[in-house]
Amino acid sequence: MDTARPAHARLMADLLPGLTTAAVVVPKALAYATIAQLPVQAGLFAALVPMAIYAVLGSSRVLSVSTTTPIAILCAVAIGEALRNDPSLNPLVAAATLSLLVGVMLLGARVLRMGFLANFISEPVLTGFKAGVGLVIVVDQLPKLLGIHIHKEGFFRDLASLVSHVPELSWPTLSVAVATLAVIFLAKRFLPKSPAPLLAVAAGIAASAILGLEGLGVSVVGTIQGGFPSLVLPQPSLFEAMWPAAAGIALISFTESIAAARAFVRRDDPPIDANRELFAIGAANAAGALIGSIPAGGGTSQTAVSRNAGSQTQAASLVVAAAALATLLFLSPLIELMPHATLAAVVIAYSIGLISPAEMNAIRKVRTMEFRWALAACLGVMVLGTLKGILVAIVLSLAGLMSLANNPRVDELRRKPGTQVFRPRSPEHPEDEATPGLLIARPEGRIYFGNAGNVGAKLNELRQASAPQVILLDCSAIPGMEFTALKMLVEAEEKLRGEDTELWLAALNPEVMELVQRTPLAERLGRARMYFTVAQAVEAFNARQLKRFPL
């Protein structure tokens, strides 16, 4: 970033990228508010206050903060439940309460320096979770797209109910939805740099005004509260019922925000500070609560638009916030004419992007187990609902972490011909050379009480397959060892010695070397069986064999 330029010059450089981003963010904010069962202005509030607060406090130069699809569907669960319990409740009060809880939780996490929560849900599980959310939202919005009404009871029952009510669909409503989808996809196809959501929303409003769609039975947004946002006070009596949803939203908001911020950071940008992000996003939500904003977080798609449009600083986000305010002040009469089918079509068009078969297939090709976790996370959202789906995602992520930690790789190494490079034995490299009488094995990862037994079992399998005179452990990929692992290593050396097999060690890092030296193993091995590199150990083994069996 050119900090030598005056502030007003940098602001002007971000003006056009900011307006371009606003053309995408503002229509989507309107649409996402309807997912959460809120008045459309609640979405604009998220593009106003949280966007501006993050612009001042965040560590990313381009992260665009408003609401996102997963956040909106989680809000729908909490706010829908609150409205069912108290039909007289102002939806904006429910939104304010939820946003305040999310903000307080994130700020509390900042105080506790819990930035590591950004990695709490694994990428494959998050991919499956988002796919499930995308499918849930599509089914949730189809009634508005078709112009029918169903009693919502869960994903599969809603799907069955939709099918049974298809004969009741409103053709004018469906026509509006199809036309909206056509505008979005044609704009993306032939005008990829155009603000497709803005074009679709503008077309829907124009059609409503010119053709009198409401008179044809097409539901429209209707009266909204324009002008400057009013102060909205959260309702403490809702805290107990809403905190589980708020915790889920806080986790998803932070996880998505960090992922988006890191995805679009450039080499000359400052690093993304996870703890600072906790503070910025927490403060953004807490401030947004005061006007009844839907909870907010960083969005990948809108951040991509901002970066690709040329945004250099958060001044672009301030432009988006100004555009949201201008919409509230001057465009409310037009928004009132917008068909609900248009908003539903916008939501569906962008929710489909959460469902990525290509990414799921990429996960499947790398690790089948992680692909199964992704599928389970997807099904968890569809079967149990979005909020419980987050719990499924967290449990799966923790189970995956435990599985990986408890089952570390143990590779047999062979030498690449003509080099001092030792790499895992593989059918792709049949030419790699083994050293007769020597088994070179490399465990990967920290060895502790939970995985020491598995590492030992894998080493024993390799030993039985080759019956070596010496087992050389390449310790270069072992960052540390726990007492149980060291004890098992000492016991293994004793057992191998009794079976005329020697244990050698190579490439120990200073921490592991210090631990080994505190055990009887260091004295038993001595310098003759501990080496700086695998290549040195192999040379020593070959030299010893040559002495024993001269040519």
386 pLDDT above the threshold of 80: no
6 pLDDT above the threshold of 60: no
For 235-278, what is each residue's pLDDT tens digit? 999 999 999 999 999 998 998 898 888 878 888 888 889 999 99
SS (H, E, C) 231-297: CCCCCHHHHHHHHHHHHHHHHHHHHHHHHHHHHCCCCCCCCCCHHHHHHHHHHHHHHHHCCCCCCCE
Q: Are 199 and 315 in contact (CB under 8 A)?
A: no
pTM equals 0.74
Task: Indicate the CATH number for domain 410-548.
Answer: 3.30.750.24
161 pLDDT above the threshold of 70: yes
DSSP string, 282-347: HHHHHHHHTTTPPP-EE-HHHHHHHHHTT--STHHHHHHHHHHHHHHHHSHHHHTT-BHHHHHHHH
Give how far Cα 103 sits from Cα of 281, 294, 334, Å.
7, 11, 32
Q: Are 64 and 305 in contact (CB under 8 A)?
A: yes
Distance separating alpha carbons of residues 394 and 40, to the nearest angstrom:
31
14 pLDDT above the threshold of 80: yes
Q: What are the extents of the domains in the chain?
A: 9-193+230-402, 410-548
Contacts of 243 (CB under 8 A, 6+ apart): 101
For residue 216, the number of C-alpha atoms closer than 13 Å in the C-beta half-sphere is 17
Higher model confidence: residue 24 or residue 505? Answer: 505
Q: Are 459 and 410 in contact (CB under 8 A)?
A: yes
4 pLDDT above the threshold of 60: no
For 107-156, what is each residue's pLDDT tens digit? 999 999 888 877 767 788 888 988 988 898 899 889 989 999 888 778 89
User: pLDDT confidence of 439, banded at 50, 70, 90?
Assistant: very high
Indicate the average pLDDT of the chain.
89
Distance separating alpha carbons of residues 230 and 528, to the nearest angstrom:
78
| Residue 292 pLDDT | 95
